[in-house]
Amino acid sequence: MAFKMGYFVNRMKEKLWIKPLFVCVFSVILTFAAKAADQLPIESITPDISKETIETLLSIMAASMLVIATFSVSSMVSAFASASSTATPRSFPLVVSDDVSQNALSMFVGAFIFSIVALIAIKNGFFDKVGRFSLFSLTLISFAIVIVTFIRWVDSIARLGRLGSTIEKVETATINAMNLQLKAPRMGAHQVSNHNWDDEAIYSDEIGYIQNIDMPTLQSIAESLETRIRLNALPGTFSSPGLPLAYIEKGKQHGENVDKENILNAFCIGKNRVFDEDPRFGLVVLSEIASKALSPGINDSGTAIGVIGALVRILKVWDDGLQNTSSEIIYSRLEAPEIKSGDMLEDAFLSISRDGASSLEVGLRLRKAFRSMQHFEDKSIRTHAAAYAALSLKRAKKELSLEEDFNTLEKIKINRNSIST
């Protein structure tokens, strides 16, 4: 259960109604907390706040918060639409889960609910002297919080949905997913072995992408059967009825009928990929943003160049992490495949090198990016960088009309001998 908690929390952060709901409930509790203050023996030292003063404040808050909450929702929807249209629809979950915007919407709606409930209570004589002072104090505090939140939110909403902000969010999410993989390579399982098992394949009838794998549950199943389970898929893999998700070795307690349902329940399959444990998805999304910017209708080579820089930074994080990665095996009865560096470079640069072949500026940035990867420690990254450098040069030769432009690209040399050593 604890293993799935992080995944569950991230999915909840993508729901706009979760935080406002909790804040609304808390707002109602605050109203009754003010009433509880009437039980305190401090009436003699408590200032006497008139009902009319509190009613006026609450009426102002109720009227203004409804307008501001409506305005915030419309602004957020516009930002979400902008992120989907200017970047890529795949970045939408990251924009929706923006904490500043969700907190602002929650505060505005919560303040509105608080003012309505408190206004009804004060008009019906629900509070005595201490309770009225407590409610007055809570109202002033709510005003202060709303003002600070609104100022912070205005600064955030000006950037939310903008292309640069979206790229930054995707880059951060990708690096977080990479660090998670580097902290526990293969999700804490053994590397897939080469020995032949008398394996039984586990298939799923669901069609979609693997979003999360409950490794503790699989480990528990393998221990109970005194066997080993070999994963055939990682988060981000497309699942269909013909592709096995895992293989199970026949062990001492492995009868004729394995409870496949428990094994399948450990795989969370959804319609879309998620960023949490799938660093390759972040690379794909960044590549999509660059390819969209290079389309003839947009022709924004600057965005593509910025994405290339982000991709190199991400791959540098991966390269550094590979040199310091942990070798600790957490799940002794599980085996899982590794994420290959070559696949990452394919996700990152294949479409950009194709769509940017006719752009000299993009070609120059790509060549410089591949040249910078010569200094990476991972041999696989260096080798695949050289291969993509050669491929992008071939594409450029076919697309660039001026020989001088192509010669400019060729001047940026990629030292193959250095890469393959």
Q: pLDDT by residue (tens digit) across 251-264?
A: 655 555 567 888 99
Q: Rounded to an integer, what distance in angstroms lies between the CA atom of residue 388 and that of residue 384?
A: 6
238-239 and 208-213 strand pairing: antiparallel
The confidence score (pLDDT) of residue 420 equals 42
According to DSSP, the residues that pair with 248 across neighbouring strands are: 200, 229
Q: Rounded to an integer, what distance in angstroms lies between the CA atom of residue 134 and that of residue 319?
A: 57
Q: Kindly report the CA angle at 315 between 311 and 318, in degrees rounded to 5?
A: 145
Domain regions of the chain by residue span? 2-161, 175-179+276-420, 187-270
Q: Rounded to an integer, what distance in angstroms lies between the CA atom of residue 131 and that of residue 49?
A: 10
pLDDT (average), residues 9-17: 68
Lowest-confidence pick of 83-87, 104-108, 217-221, 402-406: 83-87
pTM listed for this prediction: 0.82
Q: Quote the tokens at residue 240.
A: 């269909």
Render pLDDT for 35-55 as a digit per residue (tens, 0 to 9): 888 788 877 778 888 888 888
CB 388, CB 312: distance < 8 Å: no
Confidence tier at 3 by pLDDT (50, 70, 90)? low
CB 291, CB 366: distance < 8 Å: no
Residue-by-residue DSSP string for 5-20: HHHHHHHHHT-TTHHH
Q: Quote the tokens at residue 51.
A: 């009902």
Average pLDDT over all residues of the chain:
86
pLDDT > 90? residue 11: no
In this structure, what are the phi and psi dihedrals at residue 388, rounded to the nearest 5 degrees? -75, -30
From the CB of residue 110, how many other CB atoms can be counted at a distance below 10 Å? 26
CB-based contacts of 97, cutoff 8 Å, min separation 6? 10, 13, 14
pLDDT > 70? residue 125: yes
pLDDT (average), residues 393-400: 92
CB 190, CB 332: distance < 8 Å: yes
Q: Rounded to an integer, what distance in angstroms lies between the CA atom of residue 384 and that of residue 54?
A: 69
The confidence score (pLDDT) of residue 419 equals 44
- CATH architecture group of domain 187-270: Alpha-Beta Complex (3.90)
Render pLDDT for 134-150 as a digit per residue (tens, 0 to 9): 888 888 998 899 888 88
Q: For the chain, give the percent of residues with pLDDT over 70.
A: 91
The confidence score (pLDDT) of residue 184 equals 86
Q: Rounded to an integer, what distance in angstroms lies between the CA atom of residue 179 and that of residue 392?
A: 29
Q: Quote the tokens at residue 382.
A: 């260096």
